[in-house]
Amino acid sequence: MKSRIFLGLSIIVLMLSSCQKDEVSNLYYPNEGSIGFDISTGKTRADISDLFVLLSDPNGFGVYATNGPSSALFIDNGKYKYNTLAEKWIWEGKTRIWPDEEDEDNYPIHFFAYYPFSSIDLGTSLKHEHTVAKTPEEQLDLLAAKQKGVDVRPESNNVTLSFKHILSKIDFKVITREDVTVEVQSIAVRHVGEKGTFDYSELIWEKSPEEFKTEYDFMKAPVKEDNIFVGSTVAKEVKGSSGSLMLMPQNLKDRAWDKTIANLPHLSYIEVVYRMYETETGKNIVGFTNAEDHPMYEELGSTVTGSLFVKVGYPLPTEWILNKAYTYVIYLDGSSSGGILIDENFMDDDGEDSGLPVVDPETGEPIDPGEPIFTDKPIGFDVDVNDWGTPNEEPL
């Protein structure tokens, strides 16, 4: 399994070439006139906020290039990686030297780079269909850069490449009120696209997802300590199981769930499992601290122990754009609907169906799927959008 990879803001000169070996010191030095790159990346919200991951990645990043009037590949998936002994970037394989400027067939040169390096074959089309992994642990922070129209050899021999994130980053926050505590057990994104074709020559997604069937778990049961929110009017970050979701850019505006239960398997929505209670008194507001307190516990012969949580849905009328960070702020403060109930039964501590029907803890009255948790309350839902790659700016 691959580790998730995040890159942060940094600028570093990369001497990316195959080099002559010094038999005495066992270090590598770039050949004079070899093609190199200056690179930078956008800042992420990850713990790693510099190029440490890229520096330590034995696979480095890949480069394609075309030159002259033809579309032939001048560089065909060249691998550039960091040599820790030499403290320099080198090109693994044949050295590529800047061509003679007197020959007009050598220029202009167009460079296209991507990270992390793989064996993908972009060919002369410079396009590739990507599939986003279903588990967050396997999702990668995919980067791409281009520099087109290089007409002359730079004095430094280096071409500037500014990498951008080609996926969309998804996070969640919760707002409660001062007198309540909310325990968020799980959050998931349901029925979105996982595949798209990326054009590295233009840095755009050429082909949008055609199917919207994939489900992504941002976090799962049981409740983690970090996701117990003691009342506050300030939005607090929900901690995902493996950080942010990295999802395929796509337009879901016409696919948002319409709050009709029959359409749940087909339309896009956010699923949240949670419970709410008064902080000081422990009085149940949504769900139950102790399953035994359910008014039908004995009648149904239940043996469930622990707490009970509701499973709700929020329509997802959104468009995800590459290099953007989206934070969905969910209002669980009693002044909003608390979501639309999408399962007739409570969930237990493990996120499994408890067999106990959802009821209002105070009145014991049933709440049916398709109904809001709090009657006559608007759906509480905001979206913060930021440029994922904006330097020196922490996404909200």
When pLDDT is averaged across residues 295-321 and rounded to a whole number, the result is 95
CATH code at position 31 = 2.60.40
pLDDT for the residue 375: 66
Verify that 185 and 201 share a domain, yes or no.
Answer: yes
Looking at 68-72, 180-184, 216-220, which range is the least confident one? 68-72
pLDDT recorded at residue 17: 24
Where a domain ends, among 165, 185, 219? 165
Please, where are the H alpha helices in the chain? 52-56
Q: For residue 289, is pLDDT > 90?
A: yes
Say which residue, 337 or 69, is predicted with more confidence. Answer: 69
Q: What is the pTM of this model?
A: 0.83
Q: Which of 46-55, 172-181, 255-264, 293-302 has the lowest mean pLDDT?
A: 46-55
> Quick one: pLDDT at residue 121?
87
Going by C-alpha positions, the residue among 338, 339, 342, 346 that lies closest to residue 295 is: 346
> Taking the CA atoms of the chain, what radius of gyration do you get in angstroms?
26
Q: Are residues 174 and 161 in the same domain?
A: no
Residue 345 lies in a domain: yes
Query: Looking at per-residue confidence, does 24 or 347 come out higher?
Result: 347
The 3-state secondary structure of 63-82, one letter per residue: EEEEECCCCCEEEEEEEEEE
Q: Which domain holds residue 209?
A: 169-387
- Residues 72, 207, single domain; the answer is no
Highest mean pLDDT among 20-29, 106-115, 290-299: 290-299
Q: Give domain status of residue 393, yes or no.
A: no
Read off the pLDDT of residues 33-58 as tens digits, 9 standing for 90 and up. 554 544 444 433 232 223 556 666 77
Q: Do 232 and 314 fall within a single domain?
A: yes
Q: In what order do the strands lie in the sheet with 195-199?
A: 127-131, 195-199, 204-207
Tokens of 302: 């239940």
| Coil, helix or strand at residue 130 | strand
* Residue that is last in its domain, among 165, 196, 221: 165
In a domain, 304, yes or no: yes
| Mean pLDDT of all residues in 134-159 | 86
Write the single-letter amino acid at 249.
Answer: P
pLDDT at 383: 58
pLDDT of residue 60: 78
**pLDDT tens digit string along 196-254?**
999 999 999 987 788 999 999 999 999 999 999 998 778 899 999 888 999 999 999 99
Stretch 270-279: mean pLDDT: 96
Please check whether residues 202 and 343 belong to one and the same domain. yes
Q: Which residues of 294-333 are buried (b: 16+ CB within 10 A; e: fewer)?
A: beebeeeebebeebbbbbbbbbbbbebebbbbbbbbbbbb
pLDDT band at 378 (very low <50, low <70, confident <90, very high): low
**pLDDT value of position 255:** 94
How many folded domains does the chain comprise?
Answer: 2
Mean pLDDT, the chain, as a whole number? 80
Domain-located, residue 139? yes
| Phi, psi of 175, rounded to the nearest 5 degrees | -115, 130
Arithmetic mean of pLDDT, 295-306:
96
243 and 123 within one domain: no
> Tens digit of pLDDT for each residue in 90-133?
677 666 788 888 887 889 999 998 988 887 889 899 999 999 99
Going by pLDDT thresholds of 50, 70 and 90, the confidence category of residue 284 is very high
Indicate whether 2 belongs to any domain: no
Asked if residue 1 has pLDDT above 70, the reply is no
Look at residue 159 and tell me whether its pLDDT is greater than 60: yes
| 64 and 146 inside one domain | yes
Q: Look-up: residue for tokens 């499994």?
A: 352
Please check whether residues 304 and 353 belong to one and the same domain.
Answer: yes
Written as one string, the DSSP assignment of 343-354 is -SEEE-TTSSEE
Burial class (CB in 10 A: 0-12, 13-18, 19+), 276: buried
**Could you say which of 136, 165, 194 is where a domain stops?**
165
